[in-house]
Amino acid sequence: MMRLYKVYHRFSLLPPNSSLLPFPPVCLGIIRRSTVKFITVLSMATSRFRNIAPLSALLNEDGGGGGSNGSVSSSTATSSSIDYDDESALGVGYRVPPPEIRDIVDAPPVPALSLSPHRDKILFLKRRALRPLAELARPEEKLAGIRIDGNCNSRSRMSFYTGIGIHQLLPDGTLGPEKEVHGFPDGAKINFVTWSPDGMHLSFSICMNGEDDDSSKLRLWIADVDTGKARPLFQSNVYLNAVFDNFVWVDNSSLLVCTIPLSLGAPPKKPLVPYGPKIQSNEKRNIVQVRTFQDLLKDDYDEDLFDYYATSQLVMASLDGKMKDIGRPAVYTSMDPSPDQKYLMISSIHRPYSFIVPCGRFPKKVELWSADGKFVRELCDLPLAEDIPIAFNSVRKGMRSINWRADKPSTLYWVETQDGGDAKVEVSPRDIIYTLPAEPLEGEQPVILHKLDLRYRGISWCDDSLALVHESWYKTRRTRTWVISPGSEDVIPRILFDRSSEDVYSDPGSPMLRRTQAGTYVIAKVKKESDERSYILLKGNGATPEGNIPFLDMFDINTGNKERIWESDKEKYYESVVGLMSNQQEGDLLLHELKILTSKESKTENTQYYFVRWPDKKVQITNFPHPYPQLASLQKEMIRYQRKDGVQLTATLYLPPGYDPSTDGPLPCLVWSYPGEFKSKDAAGQVRGSPNEFAGIGPTSALLWLARRYAILSGPTIPIIGEGDEEANDRYVEQLVASAEAAVEEVIRRGVAHPKKIAVGGHSYGAFMTANLLAHAPHLFCCGIARSGAYNRTLTPFGFQNEDRTLWEAPNVYIEMSPFMSANKIKKPILLIHGEEDDNSGTLTMQSDRFFNALKGHGALTRLVLLPFESHGYAARESIMHVLWETDRWLYKYCVSNISDVGADEDTSTVKDNVSIGTMDSESKVAAASGGGGSEVSDNPDNEQYHLTPRSSLCDQDRSIAMICMRMLEHQVAT
C-alpha cells in the first residue's frame, strides 16, 4: 500500500476511475510550479515582535532569501503574516496556508501521457488543479459499498481531463507538434480515454456541468487521430452508464457500450411508511465474519435504488452510429472481448443482495455471447458470498479470475479453490487452474492446466511452450513462480523462483510484455544475432543495501543464466524501464533492434522520459520544468540506523535548501510514517527506494514543510515483526516505540532536529501510529498530527489492517493496540483531522469523533477538524488548503514555538539544575527563530543520546541574538 501511495504522489497517476488503456499509460504528473516568493516572519518571546521580518528578509524583501540562487533563507520555520495566536478566527470558515505552501499546491499539473498501440503517437491528457468543494457537495448515493453520482450514472468524485493533445513520434525519437482534439463544447469534462486497437481513433466520455439532468450525463465521443476532429457517437439521447464498466473496443470499428436503459424512468421514491422492519437473521447458525465495510445497502429501498442506477443496457455500436442491443438490461459489471473478437465475456451481479457486504460479493453471473449479440452459454452463476473467512488468502468459492488466454484466439482459463475458500484449511492442492475453449466440443471437459499449493496470483502467457504461473501465501510471505508448457502434457512443470516476497534483494524482476496483433500482451522473447537461443526480458527494481538500482536482464528460462543488458546510473540518477517500444508484433525480437521507454530523475531533477535503442542511442522526449523551483536545491539523504533489538532501519531525511547543520543548528522536525508488518528482521532491515529519486510533493505531503524550514524525516521504517509462529501485533507497541526512538535518536545525533521540537504525523494507519506514539512514547515528540485514523480496535472486531484474528481470539492485542484505551496517557498536543464521508473500511469518521471526546474527557490539548464531503483521502481545494493551514498552525504553535519549560504533568527533575527555566525559554525561542546556531542542551539527562555538541560559544550566540533584536527594533521604529 505504501508503495502505491508513494507512486501516486510522485507521478500523480491517472484517475482511479479512468479506463485501462491498451498500453499501460505513462503518467507524468510532474507539476509545473511558478517561483514562489517567501516572506518569513520571526516569532519572538514578546507578542509585539511577532509579525516583524527577520534580518534576511529585511535585507532582501523580494523573497530571494539573500542567496545567490534565490533559495529560501535558512532562518527557520516561521508563520509568515499569519497570526496563529489569534484565537478569534480559529472556527471561521475555510483557511489557507502561507503562500510558500499554497503556491506549490495550487499550480496546475502538466498533462498525463498515454502511448498509442503501435507506439507511434503520444496523447497529452490535460488536467486541472485541485477541484472545488462544490463538486464534492453534489448529491451522491451510497449503495452497496460504492458511491454513485445519480445525475450522470457514474461513480461520484471522479477526476477528469480538460483537453487532449496528440503528438507524433518522429523518426529521430522526438515529439512532433501538438494536434489538439477539438469539436467538443468548452468546459467539457473528459474521461475514460482509450485508443482503438489500430490506433486510428480515440473514444472518451464527456459530461457538462449543466442545469438540467441530460446535460450532466455522460455521452460517448469519438475522435479521428489523424485530424483531431471529435464527434458524439450517438446522435440520439443515448447516455453512458459508468457505475461499473463503461465501454470497450471490440474491433477497430465497433464498441460495446453500457448505456442507461431508455425505459428506465424516474428513480424510485422512498416510501413514507417503510415496507416493514429491518430484519437480519442467522437462524442457520452460519459463521459470517466481515470487516467494517461502509456505504452498504440498508433496506429494500436501497436495493431498488441500487438497481435503478446500476442497471445498464448493453449496446453494440459502430463508428457510423448504428446500434444493436445485446441482451436484456442488467447490472453489468465487466465486458471482455476475446482476442479474436468473436466472443464477449460479460459479467453481471443480481439479487439476492446483502446488507453486510459490498457489491463485489453479491451473486455473480458470467456469460458468453457472440460478437453479433447471440447468447452462447453461461460460464457460472456464483451465489452470495457473505461467508468468506477474514483470514488472509481466503477467497470466494467456485470459478474465479475468469479470463481469456492472451496467446490464443478464444480460450478461457480460470481458478477454483480446493479449500472451500478458507485459508485456515490445510489441503493440497489449494487451487487448480482450468482451461477450456470458448465453445467446447460436445462432451469436452475443462483441462487442468496446473495445481497450486499456495494461492493463485496470476499467469504471464507467452505461447504453447511457455507460461509463468505465480502463487503466494501471505502468512509465510512465500512466493513462487512456475514454468509450464500449456500445449504439452509431457513437460513437467518446474519451479523457476521460490523466495520470500519480503526479500526485495532477491527479487529477480518481472517479465516484459509485447503487444500482439490481437491487442493482447504476452511475454517478449529476445534473440541475439549470433545466438539461436531465446531469452525473456526481466525488469526489476534492483533493491540493494545502497538503494534501488533498476535493471533489465536477458534471462535464459532453461538454464537460469542471465545477462544484464541495462542498468540505472547508480551515482547520481535514478532510471527505470517503463515499457517496451519495439513495434514487432510476432516472433522473437532482436536485441540490436530493441527499443524501450525509460525514465530518469535525480534528487534535484524532476522525471524526464527517454527512448533507448540498442546498443547506446538515447533520445530525451520530454523536458518538463521543475515543479517547485523554490525547493530545487532541497537536500535529500537515505539514512540507516539501528533499533535497540538490532533491526536495521531506514528513512529518507529531507532538509531545506541551503541548510547547514554546522552553522544553522537543529531545526524543527516532522516525522511522517506508516507502519508495516514483516516476518523476519532481515527483511525488515532491507533498503527500499533510492537516494536518487526525485522528491515528489503531493498536495498534502509532509515535504511541503521544507518550504517552512522544517527537517522532514519521511517514511522511517516502523517494522512490526512477527517471526515464526509469533504474530507481529503481539508486540506492536513495544516495536513501534523502539522504532520511533531509533529514528528520533538518529536525527538528534545528526544535529538536524531540535530534541524538543520533533513532531510526528501520519494518515490512516499512520494516524493510528501517531496516537499510539503520543500515548506510549511522550518523551519523543512535542505534538502529533493524525489524519483519518482508527483509534478503537474494538470497533473493528473482525480484523483490521494486516491483523486477521478477531477481537475474541486476541482481546489483549485489540485493547493494547488501541490508543483510545490509553487516551488518559496522551498529554502532548494532538490534531485530529477526518473526512466526514470517510468510505474506508475501518476508519469510520466516528473513530476520530469518539477519540476526541475521550481525550477531551481527560483534559488533553487536542483539536478535531471534520472536513465536509471528504472521504478517506482529501480532494477539494478548500479542504486541502484548510488541512495545510491547520497542520501549519499546529506545528508552529506546538513544535516551532514549543519551549523547554516544564508542564504541570512533567517531572521537574528532567530539567538540568544549573539552567533556569527562564533562560531555557528565551534561548529556545530565539533558536527556533534563527535556525539554531547556539548551544543546545537536553533537558532530559536520563537519555544521553539527546545531548548535542555545542556549535558555537555562548557569547557568540548572545551577540547574534542582540544583533537580531537591534535590527528588529530599528525596523519597528522605521515602520
Whole-number CA gyration radius for the chain: 30
CB 659 within 8 A of CB 74: yes
Burial of 20 (0-12, 13-18, 19+ CB in 10 A): exposed
Q: Edge-to-edge, what's the strand order for the sheet holding 595-602? A: 573-580, 595-602, 608-613, 617-620
Would you tell me how many other CB atoms lie within 10 Å of the CB of residue 845?
20
Residues with a known catalytic role: 764, 838, 872
CB 786 within 8 A of CB 771: yes
- The count of C-alpha atoms lying within 13 angstroms of the C-alpha of 834, restricted to the half-sphere facing its C-beta, is 27
d(CA 181, CA 206): 13
Give the three-class secondary structure for 465: coil
Burial of 286 (0-12, 13-18, 19+ CB in 10 A): exposed
d(CA 233, CA 320): 8
Element (H, E) at 22: none
Q: What residue has cell string 535503442?
A: 613
Give the three-class secondary structure for 593: helix
Q: Copy the grid coordinates of residue 304.
A: 431498488
d(CA 260, CA 276): 30
Would you tell me how many other CB atoms lie within 10 Å of the CB of residue 81?
12
Q: Which CB contacts under 8 angstroms, 24+ apart, belong to 947-952?
A: 948/666, 948/748, 948/751, 948/755, 949/751, 951/662, 951/663, 951/665, 951/751
Q: Copy the grid coordinates of residue 550.
A: 533498476
| Extended beta strands in 391-477, E state | 399-404, 411-417, 431-437, 447-452, 455-463, 466-473
- What are the beta bridge partners of residue 230? 223
Q: What residue has cell string 529556545?
A: 924
Helix, strand, coil distribution of the chain in percent, nearest 5: 20, 30, 50
Q: Which CB contacts under 8 angstroms, 24+ apart, belong to 169-174?
A: 169/119, 169/120, 169/121, 169/122, 169/621, 172/619, 173/611, 173/613, 173/619, 173/621, 174/619, 174/621
Give the three-class secondary structure for 400: strand
Would you tell me how many other CB atoms lie within 10 Å of the CB of residue 913?
7
Phi, psi of 971 (to 5 degrees): -65, -40
- What are the beta bridge partners of residue 469? 459, 482
Q: Copy the grid coordinates of residue 802.
A: 494486516
| Pairing mode of beta strands 830-835, 862-867 | parallel
Q: At what angle do helices 99-106 and 877-891 cross, to 10 degrees?
A: 150
d(CA 378, CA 369): 9
Burial of 437 (0-12, 13-18, 19+ CB in 10 A): middle
**Measured distance between the N- and C-terminal CA atoms of the chain, rounded to whole angstroms:** 53
Element (H, E) at 914: none
Q: What angle do CA 261, 183, 197 make, to 5 degrees?
A: 65
Residues in contact with 441: Cβ distance below 8 Å, sequence separation at least 6, in sequence order:
none
d(CA 95, CA 111): 29
CB 886 within 8 A of CB 865: yes
Q: What residue has cell string 533489538?
A: 645
